[in-house]
Structure formats: C-alpha cells, structure tokens
C-alpha cells in the first residue's frame, strides 16, 4: 500500500472514532465537548477523504447518517430469539393480580424487585452488533420475522454505530424508536407549510419515517431511541438482572431512559405509575403506560413466557389518548380578537382520562384538509392538558348523509360581516366591541390568572355580566357594586362581597400583567414582559412608533403593527384611562425588578429532583425551589445546575455523577432552603 494511502486510512479511522465519540457526547450524554462548527469541520474532512478513497467505504461511518442508496423493498429478517410483546393491565386490581400470580408461581411471598420503565409509544426494533459494530436493524414484525431497516436506523443519531470498549462478540439490543414531541410538532408545522399531509401522532410519524425505502428521507426526520433489553448476547459479561443489563448497555454507549427505576413490590410499582402519570405531559415524548419487569434474570427464567408474552413483565397502560366517536355538528365560536373557530360537537367519548364532547377544528383550512363532514366517524385525541383535537376521519365509516361544512357567511353571534385574514386560514368577525362574544372573551382574558387575576370571576359570571349589560369594557368591572354582583344567578351575598373585594384587590397589579390583560393581538405574556421592560412607563409605550417597537428583541413587524394599532385607537385609550381613573396601578418596573431579584436567589438555575425525601414530597421540594426562582426539570443534562438526590435515587443520580454535576442530599437541600429563605 502506498504511504499516503496508509496515512489517509489512518486519518479516516481517527476522524471516524472522533466523530463517533462527539456524537455520543451530544446525543446520548447531552454534553457536547466541541462546538457544532468544529464537528462539521471534522465531518467535512471525513467526507472529502471518503470521496477520494472509496476503497475505505464503511457503512458504519459517521458520514453514513445522512442515508444510503434507495432500496426496492425491505428484506425479511428472522429473529434468532423471538421478540416478545407485553401483556397489559389497565387497573390497580389487575396489577395486584399480576404480582400475586408471579408470587404464586415462584412459590415465594417475598416482595419482588421490579424495574419500572416508561412504556414508549413508538416502534420496537432489534439491532444487532457484531464485534462492537452495527450489523443490522430489524422491525419486530410478527415477533419471529421482521423487516430489515438497517439503512434507516443507521441514520438515527441516538443509535451507536460503533460501541465503546467492553462490547461482546455479538449483541442484539432491543428498544423503541420514537419521535420526540418537539420534533413531531416542528415536522408537522413544516409539512403543513409545504402543503403536505401532517402525521396524526408521533407514533405514526416514527412508523412512517422508518418505512421509507429512501433512508435519506429518514435521515431528515427527528427520530430518537431508548434501549430496554438485550436479545442475543455472546461473549459478554455475566448479567444477572434487568437493571444491570441496562447499566451495561449505557456503558457501551446506548441511550437509556432516565426515568427507569428499581421498585420494591407491586406497591412500589404503583407509586411509580402515579408519579409518571402526573409527569406524562412534561416528558417530551409520548408514553402509553409504564412497564414492570421482574429484575432478577433467574426469576425471569423460572417464570418463562406464555405464547408471545413474558410472564415476568407487564405493561400498565394509561387511559387511551385517542378514541373514535361521531361528529354531531360543527359550531363557530368567536374569540377575543374576533377570530372565528370551528368547534366539533361530538358524541361524548372517554379519552385522555376525561369525557370529551367538544374538540377544536382550528380553522376552515383544517376542515378542508381533514375533509371532515357532519356525521363522520372521527378520531379524537387528547394528550395531557392539550385541548382535544379531531386528528383524522375514518372514511370507510362515512354515512351517505354526511354533510360538508361551509364557512360562516356572517358572525354567528352579532351578525357583522366576516373577513378572511390575508394569506391566513382565519375568518374574523368585524364587529369589535359591538360583538358580545368578543366582549365576553376580552373580559374573561382580562380577569384571567395570568392577567389581572380576579379570583372568583369565572367564565359563567362574565357571560352574565355582559348579557345583563352590567359590563361593556373592563373598566366597568371596577364600578360594580356588591348589590349588582349579588343579583347574578347562583351568587350568594358572601360570594358577592368576596368577588367585589377580589376586583378591588386586582387594582394593584404590575405593568406586564396590565399589558397582557389588555388583550392586544399577538401580545402574550412574554411579549407583554418585553414591552414593560423596554419602556420606563405606559406613556412612553403609548407614544412609541412602529419602528421603535420593531427594535425590541422578539418583536417583529406583525406584532409591532398590532401594538401600534391598538394604542392608536381612541376607544382603547379611553378604556386605559378609565382603568387608571378607577385606581388600577402598578409599581415602576425598576422597583418591581429589585424586589423579585431579592426574592429569587436561584433564578436561572436548573434543578433535577430524584429519589424520595423524608421531610417532604418531591412536589413540595419542587415548589420550594421554584419559589426561590429555580426551574425544576425532569432530566439531567449538561445544563443542570444541581441534582437533589433522595433515597433510592436511580439512573438520574448515575447520570449526574457521570457528568460531574453537584449532587445535594436531603440535608444539603434543607440547608440550602434554610439559607435562601431567610
């Protein structure tokens, strides 16, 4: 071999090793060591060398993450060990019965140690490594045979192509490929902007992305993976438990879910279920339950499997987030800014833990895109606290009498003409404060918690106040007497006087709250805060030109236009004047900032809580930390300021230690709270 070829080969190997390592630090440990630009430079150098020296092609090169040649079809793969599926339990009773069955079979009443894992709602895969190198990836298929999706899986950054030292001769890793929610939402937004069909849910998005014959398409999709089991293994260490197996996988460079915990007995598992269910909406990816696995491998072996499911594991499912129901009618609601939103009236259905009878259809474009018609059977989705949505139509169930839905010709509430926003899908009522719907919604917004925070002034009361013409603008709220309030339906004397006090108390507010409460189009909490920070007082803001507004960070031309337009309207200025005349006031921003900084010594710090505490619950600890300005987050990363580890802290503690992050025990936390509270 000529000398420069040897040199090139050595450099290629070195670049590949460096890029594998940086990839691991970035995607698995969440702790990059070099800037993105340097990573790109190394990758470009590798790509250039690989072009010049095609004889050193390697399908597992970090350069191959971009995808490989298009396939005609997927080859069939026979799994050496069948890929089992999980049995399910849906209730606490069923979980208790599952645990009792295991104890009976083992003829041992001692509490079983379980490993509890989130049940990811993605696509199960098997990935085979030979001599520490990615050899093949396959779908689960029917459990005995799946499809070879190696080219697609290779593009996923969380899947190592080359393992860290300590790899066994052969290793089959099993896990779940999924699309994180942030990726799913941004992908769908872009798909809509390109005029393409969005995915119904993250699971379909992951499945659709893995089904591509062109892996360059898969490479563009934001996929991720967590590993949860070992299939075939030869030549590795002796592993005696699920927990040890997971730690071993992490040591080889695989990504483990940081929520995985060991639990004692089924009651430990049920506590985990409750904890995870509360956190479900904050995880950043979809789970449809949790999985309980007997930790000890010897016990797993004794328990064995029935048909296609292991006896030693069970999925404890959360209530479903998607269900089918019938669309009874579509009604149009008018919002605070006149935007007209179609709302689906549904045959009530239990989904996402509540009974849903209404769902948003967003706008007319969405109705057209879904081609949804009255009478259709639709799929309704409610994830976390998100408003229920109609995500698809089951066309095969469309009745002959299904009717298409037409846009409103006039405002359904006040009859004013409607206009369509230029270049947008929104129809808008032109009635302004003439429209009682807009009046009601503006007042609800004004009174809401993040605005003027008028305790006890709920939606139903606002509706009555507007219908009885006691209130037209927000300023009228401050002139209401206790007698007027007491005259409202379902309003006792005592509640009326409490509400009157709450209305009076709301006069002491802050400038950001006041600006947010005004309900200026496109001005949410964050923009209101930026405006308040930028101008010394309200008068300075009122006099600001569009150009001056556009200079502010985060404020673009559209928002600047809406803000300027709002303050140029004499009716709005009149309302602002009346509010101030009624006594609505706020401290100067400087004074306010001084007092919050003093009270928030942990502002800007990101904290993770793990394990259980003796003197308080984790929620209480989180509340105390948040009161001091800290942000409490779910998972440990390079950005974590410190970790509070109680009893039985699991993988988060391991990760924190691996990343060299400060760890406080309970005594340390108490000392910190004590110090900062005083």
According to DSSP, the residues that pair with 340 across neighbouring strands are 334, 427
Separation CA 162–CA 127 (nearest Å): 12
The piece of 112-120, 320-328, 365-373, 399-407 that touches ligand 9MJ (CB under 6 A) is 112-120
Which of 149, 153, 229, 443 binds ligand 9MJ (CB under 6 A)? It is 229
Neighbours of 96 (CB within 10 A): 15
Q: Minimum Å distance from CB 124 to ligand 9MJ?
A: 6
Considering 7, 103, 119, 440, which one is annotated as catalytic? 119
Separation CA 294–CA 544 (nearest Å): 66
Separation CA 581–CA 478 (nearest Å): 10
> In this structure, what token pair is assigned to residue 165?
């030292």
Separation CA 23–CA 633 (nearest Å): 24
Q: Minimum Å distance from CB 516 to ligand 9MJ?
A: 40
Q: Minimum Å distance from CB 118 to ligand 9MJ?
A: 6
Q: How far is CA 473 from CA 210, 220, 409, 444, 450, in A?
A: 54, 50, 27, 11, 19
Note whether 140 binds ligand 9MJ by CB under 6 A: no
Per-residue x/- marks for ligand 9MJ, 3-32, CB under 6 A? ------------------------------
Chain residues 411-440 in contact with ligand 9MJ, contact rule CB under 6 A: none
Q: Minimum Å distance from CB 103 to ligand 9MJ?
A: 21
> In this structure, what token pair is assigned to residue 318?
């959360």
Is 639 part of the annotated catalytic residue set? Answer: no
Chain residues 47-86 in contact with ligand 9MJ, contact rule CB under 6 A: 84, 86
What is the sign of the dihedral through the CA atoms of 51, 57, 62 and 68? positive
> In this structure, what token pair is assigned to residue 434?
């003439």
The piece of 114-122, 364-372, 397-405, 406-414 that touches ligand 9MJ (CB under 6 A) is 114-122
Distance, C-alpha 311 to centroid of its chain: 32
Residues in contact with 49: Cβ distance below 8 Å, sequence separation at least 6, in sequence order = 8, 11, 12, 15, 56
Chain residues 150-209 in contact with ligand 9MJ, contact rule CB under 6 A: 176
Which of 117, 322, 323, 376 binds ligand 9MJ (CB under 6 A)? It is 117
Query: Which residue's CB is nearer to ligand 9MJ, number 228 or number 254?
Result: 228
Q: Are 523 and 563 in contact (CB under 8 A)?
A: yes
Which of 22, 65, 119, 255 binds ligand 9MJ (CB under 6 A)? It is 119
Chain residues 517-536 in contact with ligand 9MJ, contact rule CB under 6 A: none
Q: Minimum Å distance from CB 120 to ligand 9MJ?
A: 4
Note whether 291 binds ligand 9MJ by CB under 6 A: yes
Query: Which residue's CB is nearer to ligand 9MJ, number 254 or number 535?
Result: 254
Query: Which residue's CB is nearer to ligand 9MJ, number 99 or number 176?
Result: 176
Q: Minimum Å distance from CB 241 to ligand 9MJ?
A: 14
Separation CA 89–CA 378 (nearest Å): 27
Q: Say how many residues touch ligand 9MJ, by CB under 6 A.
A: 10
Separation CA 532–CA 514 (nearest Å): 10
Separation CA 230–CA 245 (nearest Å): 7
> In this structure, what token pair is assigned to residue 176?
């779940």
Which of 171, 250, 313, 411 binds ligand 9MJ (CB under 6 A)? It is 313
Separation CA 600–CA 185 (nearest Å): 33
Q: Enumerate binding residues for ligand 9MJ (CB under 6 A).
A: 84, 86, 117, 119-120, 176, 228-229, 291, 313
Catalytic positions are 119
């Amino acid at each position: 071999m000529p000398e420069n070829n040897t040199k090139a080969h050595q450099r290629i190997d070195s670049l590949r090793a460096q890029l594998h390592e940086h990839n691991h630090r970035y995607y698995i440990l969440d702790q990059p060591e070099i800037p993105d630009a340097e990573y790109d430079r190394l990758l470009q150098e590798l790509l250039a060398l690989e072009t010049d020296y095609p004889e050193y092609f390697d399908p597992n090169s970090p350069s191959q993450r971009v995808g490989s040649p298009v396939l005609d079809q997927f080859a069939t793969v026979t799994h050496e060990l069948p890929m089992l599926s999980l049995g399910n339990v849906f209730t606490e009773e069923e979980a208790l019965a599952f645990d009792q069955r295991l104890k009976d079979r083992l003829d041992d009443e001692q509490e079983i140690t379980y490993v509890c894992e989130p049940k990811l709602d993605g696509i199960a895969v098997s990935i085979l490594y030979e001599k520490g190198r990615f050899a093949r990836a396959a779908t689960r298929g029917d459990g005995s045979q799946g499809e070879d999706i190696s080219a697609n899986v290779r593009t996923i950054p969380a899947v190592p192509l080359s393992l860290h030292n300590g790899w066994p001769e052969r290793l089959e890793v099993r896990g779940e490929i999924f699309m994180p929610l942030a990726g799913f939402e941004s992908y769908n937004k872009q798909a809509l902007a390109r005029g393409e069909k969005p995915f119904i849910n993250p699971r379909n998005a992951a499945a659709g992305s893995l089904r591509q014959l062109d892996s360059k398409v898969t490479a563009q999709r934001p996929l991720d993976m967590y590993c949860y089991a070992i299939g075939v293994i030869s030549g590795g260490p002796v592993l005696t438990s699920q927990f040890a197996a997971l730690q071993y996988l992490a040591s080889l460079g695989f990504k483990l879910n940081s929520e995985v915990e060991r639990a004692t007995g089924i009651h430990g598992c049920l506590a985990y279920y409750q904890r995870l269910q509360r956190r479900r909406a904050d995880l950043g990816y979809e789970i449809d339950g949790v999985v309980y696995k007997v930790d000890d491998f010897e016990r797993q072996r004794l328990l064995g499997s029935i048909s296609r499911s292991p006896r030693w594991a069970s999925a404890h499912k959360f209530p479903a987030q998607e269900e089918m129901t019938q669309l009874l009618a579509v009604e149009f609601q008018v919002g605070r800014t006149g935007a007209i939103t179609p709302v689906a009236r549904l045959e009530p259905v239990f989904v996402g833990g509540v009974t849903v009878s209404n769902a948003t259809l967003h706008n007319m474009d969405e109705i057209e895109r879904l081609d949804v018609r009255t009478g259709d059977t639709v799929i309704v989705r409610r994830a976390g606290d998100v408003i229920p949505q109609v995500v698809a139509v089951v066309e095969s169930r469309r009745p002959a009498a299904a009717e298409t839905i037409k846009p409103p010709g006039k405002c359904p509430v006040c009859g004013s003409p409607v206009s369509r926003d230029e270049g947008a899908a929104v129809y808008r009522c032109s009635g302004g404060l003439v429209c009682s719907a807009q009046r009601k919604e503006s007042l609800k917004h004004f009174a809401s918690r993040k605005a003027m925070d008028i305790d006890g002034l709920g939606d139903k009361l606002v509706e009555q106040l507007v219908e009885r013409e006691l209130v037209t603008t927000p300023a009228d709220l401050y002139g209401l007497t206790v007698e007027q309030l007491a005259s409202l339906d379902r309003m006792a004397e005592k509640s009326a006087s409490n509400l009157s006090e709450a209305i009076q108390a709301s006069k002491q507010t802050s400038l950001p709250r006041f600006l947010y409460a005004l309900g200026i189009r496109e001005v949410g909490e964050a923009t209101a805060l930026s405006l308040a920070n930028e101008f010394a007082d309200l008068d300075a803001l009122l006099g600001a030109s569009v150009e001056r507004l556009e200079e502010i960070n985060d404020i673009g031309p559209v928002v600047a236009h809406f803000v300027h337009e709002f303050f140029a309207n004499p009716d709005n200025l009149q309302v602002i004047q009346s509010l101030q005349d009624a006594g609505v006031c706020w401290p100067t921003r400087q004074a306010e900032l001084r007092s919050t900084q003093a009270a928030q010594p942990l502002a800007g710090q990101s904290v993770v809580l793990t394990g259980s505490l003796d003197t308080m619950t984790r929620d209480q600890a989180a509340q105390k930390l948040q009161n001091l300005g800290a942000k409490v987050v779910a998972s440990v990363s390079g950005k974590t300021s410190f970790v509070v580890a109680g009893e039985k802290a699991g993988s988060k503690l391991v990760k924190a230690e691996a990343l060299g992050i400060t760890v406080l025990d309970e005594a340390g936390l108490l000392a910190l709270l004590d110090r900062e509270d005083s």
